[in-house]
Amino acid sequence: MGRKLLLEHINVPGINTFQVYKEKGGYRAVEKALKTMSSDDVVEEVKKSGLRGRGGAGFPTGMKWSFLAKPEGVPRYLVCNADESEPGTFKDRYLMTHIPHALIEGMIVGSYALGANTSYIYVRGEMMPQIRILEKAIAEAKAAGYLGKNILGSGYDLEIYVQPGGGAYICGEETALLESLEGKRGNPRIKPPFPAIAGLYGCPTVVNNVESIAATVPIVNEGGEEYAKIGIGRSTGTKLISASGNINKPGVYEIELGLSVEDFIYSDEYCGGIANGKRLKAVVAGGSSVPILPANLILNLANGDKRLMSYESLSEGGFATGTMLGSGGFVVLDEDQCIVRNTWNFSRFYHHESCGQCSPCREGTGWMEKVLHRLEYGHGKMSDIDLLVDVSKKIEGNTICPLGDAAAWPVASAIRHFRDEFEWHVKEPKLALERNYGLAHYADPIKIAEEV
Amino acid sequence: MSDKIKVTIDGIPVEVEPRTSILNAARQIGGDIVPPAMCYYSKLEGSGGKCRTCLVKVSKGSEKDPRPMPKLVASCRTTVMDGMEVQNITSPEVIEARKGVVEMLLINHPLDCPICDQAGECHLQDLSYEHGAATTRYEFDRRTFDRVDIGDKIQLHMNRCILCYRCVFTADQITNNRVHGVLGRGDHAEISTYIEKAIDNDFSGNVIDVCPVGALTDKTFRFKNRVWFTKPVEAHRDCPTCSGKVTLWYKGEEVLRVTARKDVYGEVEDFICNTCRFDKKSTNDWVIEGPRQVSRQSVINANHYDTLQPLPVIKKNPELMQANKEQFERATKF
Ligand SMILES: Cc1cc2nc3c(=O)[nH]c(=O)nc-3n(C[C@H](O)[C@H](O)[C@H](O)COP(=O)(O)O)c2cc1C
Ligand code: SF4
Ligand code: SF4
Ligand code: FES
């Protein structure tokens, strides 16, 4: 059994209430931080822990905190990014629904470390039940003296507010989130300046994912070094993975980073293997934005070693043979799934969610969607495949925010690894409407390049 | 001077004030190495960064940190650093990316230049001429919108809009209650005045001047003439609301339209008021300063009626005349 730091008490009845959470050792981190540590000590522990952002980019959280500008007389903010809308990712919602106090406790610890006296949790608009749950949790914590003025007699004041978003994926991008929080249209800002210098209302701001913030609780409790002992290499600690698709046991799992992908998919502790006795065809390992990999490359690296669930191992091989851990949205596709359809579906999402500020993303996402739609419905041409690659290249790297890249990668990678299947859609348009391409050679052992 | 910053753009060194953008540094050098800018507008705070036509490659970050920047950057929103080296037209990567951006800007553009009032002074036209492909790879219906009147003097032709946000920033700057903005998202986003409410402001007409394409046009000029048949003349008047410095566009004795004075980058010198723009269309209203200098390459210089030797027109072409005659006979036989 892997260690559980966030979901240890997930099955305890009433863990969503303050009382049970506290009985199970909750709010120790607040007591420890506020009573025995300076805010710099807390930042130092988080740095030592090696915790990396769980929202997608994997930027070291402690480093992000230490970059926060601290000019005199200007308020600073901690903003929690609970906009979770990446297709395939649903871990933050799970955490907020079942253990809301883990987030509230993390918010108090984080705000204290950053010297913020007002903090916000920006929740995706569709998650109304979670918004109510968080508001109740905040009220409970406040009644118990963990929020408000002079918390635990330490002289530290903090208010936390929950802000519902309007339900736009783009408002999960940190600067779009800040715009939206300020009451404006959620267009990503042009950086620099970065939020650490000028974020919410022009003040220094840290934006962190729900899971990153919650993870600071065990870090403060057990110390950064202890936390760093879990995991592998620069991928420390535990990570919540949202597992979905054709597996026996979909759900949210907490894993120790460094678990092998094979164990994650096939062991009974986690996904429990592919459903209905089918064979694995492909995996989108980190939410819809990351490159899709065929079965052989997701289970093994190009050199034949086992691929692990860690930031480094998943991205091993770059774009040629690797992918990314992203936000941990693990979507498994079995032999009956159509890659073309799946790619079209993703690109439809990005087309719908592009904010429309920059020309390549605004126009290119729609273009790719239309071409993919045509391919999927049997009207495609051979030249469409290269056209898609070319359009994705024109978007990638040329936009204001990473949504452009996120829209380009799934298309480019699907064609890179599943070109046969795209070609089959062009050559056999009638057949492609009736049945799927199947597993083909996508699970064949990889040819290992000779050592030179 | 020591507090100036030295940058090199396409191998040409220039010294500029700190905090200058790469684009403005390039404009200080001038010429071919200036990146095209479809959304940045120096007079509009916050503008730029959106269209991505001004992308350049920073091959050396600065003297202190010589690492190149990992991605192409928007030159209009990237500030120069001491010792920075930038590649614009000398970088194939930049040219390729710019071609891509231009293609993107055109896939949903109606390409109705023959009936568009902006033709001849349209930045998208210039850009496509320089960087565009001759054919389109886009085989789908272009998005369409209905034309909308913004008040009685301005028409919005959303089909042509490239969402540069310049008009939005203009409206933001001239009023303090927001009535003009962007609705919708992605490629279905559109410029709108909420519930088609007119921007009721003395300076609203400036959105026409800032619009790089023919999306916002002057209804008092619509379809009156092609810009290259008109003659720009600088003039001023004593205006209580604005500087009163304008360009009058003449056809014969008649003032067809009034605009602010634009520089080589299409940016106005001063915003002008609606009275000057829409209501003063008689020579008597103005003190004439002299003809406006228009760049010699500009199409506006191409077809002036005062050309001494009129260009040979089709009438002189015997083959064409013969063909026309045959066509005429065939058509009138029945
Ligand atoms: C289009 C887009 C959508 C994003 N959506 C989310 C999101 O829903 N939740 C999230 O935590 N981060 C999201 N991010 C990442 C954030 O911009 C940011 O990197 C993150 O909140 C930082 O937190 P972390 O350092 O704790 O990971 C998104 C980024 C982009 C470009
Ligand atoms: S990349 Fe797309 S989503 Fe991001 S700012 Fe540009 S248009 Fe908006
Ligand atoms: S209407 Fe013109 S100025 Fe306004 S966003 Fe569109 S192209 Fe730009
Ligand atoms: S002018 Fe720089 S991005 Fe448009």
Q: Are B5 and B16 spatial neighbours (Cβ–Cβ below 8 Å)?
A: yes
**What tokens were used for A266?**
């096939």
Cβ–Cβ gap B100/A387 under 8 Å: no
Residue with tokens 């008490």: A9
**Residues of chain A neighbouring B124 (CB-CB closer than 8 A):** none
Cβ–Cβ gap A354/B188 under 8 Å: no
DSSP string, B62-114: -SS--PPPSS-EEGGG-B--TTEEEESTT-HHHHHHHHHHHHHHHHT----GG
**Residues of chain B neighbouring A393 (CB-CB closer than 8 A):** 100
**What tokens were used for A410?**
């799934």
**Measured between CB atoms, does B103 come within 8 Å of chain A?**
yes
Q: What confidence score (pLDDT) does residue B106 get? A: 95
Beta-carbon count within 10 A of B139 CB: 13
Q: Are A77 and A118 spatial neighbours (Cβ–Cβ below 8 Å)?
A: yes
**What tokens were used for B32?**
């071919």
Q: pLDDT tens digits, residue range A64-113? A: 999 999 999 999 999 999 999 999 999 999 999 999 999 999 999 999 99
Residues in chain A: 452
Q: Report the C-alpha gap between A231 and A309 in whole angstroms.
A: 10
- Hey, what domains does chain B have and what are their CATH numbers? 5-97 (3.10.20.740), 226-308 (no CATH)
In chain A, list all ranges with CATH 1.20.1440.230.
339-435
Chain A residue with the nearest C-alpha to that of B77: A190
Cβ–Cβ gap A351/B103 under 8 Å: no
Q: What confidence score (pLDDT) does residue A62 get? A: 96
Question: Residues 254-293, chain A: which have Cβ within 8 Å of B?
Answer: none
**DSSP state letter for B116:** -
Q: What confidence score (pLDDT) does residue A119 get? A: 97
Q: What confidence score (pLDDT) does residue A194 get? A: 94
CA–CA distances in Å: residue B278 to residues A326, B208, B218, B243: 55, 12, 8, 15
Which residue of A185, A356, A398 is in closest CB contact with B101?
A398
Alpha carbon A445 to its chain centroid, in Å, reads 30
Nearest CA to ligand 4 atom 1: B37
Question: Residues 32-91, chain B: which have Cβ within 8 Å of A?
Answer: 48-53, 55, 71-72, 74, 77
Distance B39 CA to ligand 4 centre (A): 5
Q: Report the C-alpha gap between A106 and A51 in whole angstroms.
A: 13
Distance A186 CA to ligand 4 centre (A): 19
Element (H, E) at A343: helix A339-353
Cβ neighbours of residue B88 closer than 8 Å, sequence gap 6 or more: B9, B10, B26, B33, B34, B35, B56, B57, B75, B94
Q: Is the CB of A39 under 6 A from ligand 2?
A: no
Dihedral of the CA atoms B123, B129, B132, B135 (nearest 10)?
A: 120
Q: What confidence score (pLDDT) does residue B306 get? A: 44
Instruction: Put residue A79 in one of left, alpha, beta given phi > 0 → left and psi -120 to 50 → alpha.
Output: beta
DSSP string, A216-232: HHHHHHH-HHHHHHSEE
Q: Which residues of chain A have pLDDT under 70?
A: 449-452
Distance B278 CA to ligand 3 centre (A): 20
Q: Report the C-alpha gap between A204 and A74 in whole angstroms.
A: 8
Q: Which atom of ligand 2 is nearest to the CA of A188?
A: 5
Q: Report the C-alpha gap between A57 and A328 in whole angstroms.
A: 11
Q: Report the C-alpha gap between A96 and A131 in whole angstroms.
A: 9
**Is A447 in a helix, a strand, or coil?**
coil
Nearest to A83 by CA among A173, A7, A189: A173
Residue with tokens 């946000």: B165
Neighbouring C-alpha atoms within 13 Å toward the C-beta of B333: 6
ipTM for the predicted complex: 0.88
The domain made up of A18-229 has a fold known as: Rossmann fold (3.40.50)
When the candidates are 2.40.160.60, 1.10.1380.10, 1.20.1440.230, 3.40.50.450, the CATH number that belongs to A339-435 is: 1.20.1440.230
Cβ neighbours of residue B40 closer than 8 Å, sequence gap 6 or more: B23, B47, B48, B49, B54, B76, B77
Q: What confidence score (pLDDT) does residue B183 get? A: 84
**Is A137 in a helix, a strand, or coil?**
helix
Which residue of B49, B105, B182 is in closest CB contact with A185?
B182
Nearest to A350 by CA among A337, A367, A331: A367
CA–CA distances in Å: residue A283 to residues A265, A293, A345, A372, A423: 10, 6, 15, 20, 21
Q: Report the C-alpha gap between A255 and B224 in whole angstroms.
A: 70
Q: What confidence score (pLDDT) does residue B308 get? A: 44
**Measured between CB atoms, does A393 come within 8 Å of chain B?**
yes
Q: Tally A–B CB contacts below 8 A.
A: 89
Q: Would you tell me the crossing angle of helices A382-395 and B92-107 to the nearest 10 degrees? A: 110
Distance A296 CA to ligand 1 centre (A): 29
Cβ neighbours of residue A115 closer than 8 Å, sequence gap 6 or more: A39, A70, A76
In chain A, list all ranges with CATH 3.10.20.600.
233-334
Q: What confidence score (pLDDT) does residue A13 get? A: 95
Nearest CA to ligand 2 atom 4: A401
DSSP string, A331-342: EEEETT--HHHH
Distance B253 CA to ligand 1 centre (A): 61
Q: Are A101 and A18 spatial neighbours (Cβ–Cβ below 8 Å)?
A: yes
Neighbouring C-alpha atoms within 13 Å toward the C-beta of A202: 1
On the question of a cis peptide bond just before residue B13, with omega within 30 degrees of 0, the verdict is: no
CA–CA distances in Å: residue A195 to residues A216, A222, A315, A327, B195: 20, 30, 27, 20, 34
Cβ–Cβ gap A359/B184 under 8 Å: no
**What tokens were used for A205?**
């701001």
Q: Are A410 and A288 spatial neighbours (Cβ–Cβ below 8 Å)?
A: yes
**What tokens were used for B108?**
């949903």
Which residue of B48, B104, B138 is in closest CB contact with A359?
B104
**Residues of chain B neighbouring A351 (CB-CB closer than 8 A):** 186-187
Nearest CA to ligand 2 atom 6: A358
On the question of a cis peptide bond just before residue B212, with omega within 30 degrees of 0, the verdict is: no
Which ligand has the shortest distance to the CA of B159? Answer: 3
Q: pLDDT tens digits, residue range A227-249? A: 999 999 999 999 999 999 999 99
Chain B residue with the nearest C-alpha to that of A186: B185
Q: What confidence score (pLDDT) does residue B301 get? A: 58
Which residue of A190, A367, A399 is in closest CB contact with B107?
A367
Q: Are A150 and A158 spatial neighbours (Cβ–Cβ below 8 Å)?
A: no
**Measured between CB atoms, does A170 come within 8 Å of chain B?**
yes
Nearest CA to ligand 1 atom 13: A172
Q: Which residues of chain B have pLDDT under 70?
A: 1-2, 194-199, 295-321, 333-334
**Measured between CB atoms, does B105 come within 8 Å of chain A?**
yes
Cβ–Cβ gap A190/B71 under 8 Å: no
Distance (Å) from the alpha carbon of A250 to chain B's nearest alpha carbon: 32
Q: Report the C-alpha gap between A444 and A449 in whole angstroms.
A: 15
Cβ–Cβ gap B107/A359 under 8 Å: no
In testing the pocket of ligand 4, which one of B24, B27, B34, B52 has its CB within 8 Å of the most ligand atoms? B52
**Residues of chain A neighbouring B187 (CB-CB closer than 8 A):** 351, 354, 356, 362-363, 365-366
**Residues of chain B neighbouring A358 (CB-CB closer than 8 A):** 49-52
Chain A residue with the nearest C-alpha to that of B103: A360
Nearest to B180 by CA among B135, B210, B142: B210
Backbone angles phi, psi at A160, to 5 degrees: -115, 130
Nearest to A242 by CA among A257, A252, A250: A252
**Measured between CB atoms, does A431 come within 8 Å of chain B?**
no
∠ CA(A97), CA(A81), CA(A363), 5° rounding? 120
Q: What confidence score (pLDDT) does residue B311 get? A: 47
**Measured between CB atoms, does A181 come within 8 Å of chain B?**
no
CATH top-level class of A233-334: alpha beta
Distance B105 CA to ligand 2 centre (A): 14
Nearest CA to ligand 1 atom 8: A84
Neighbouring C-alpha atoms within 13 Å toward the C-beta of B99: 17
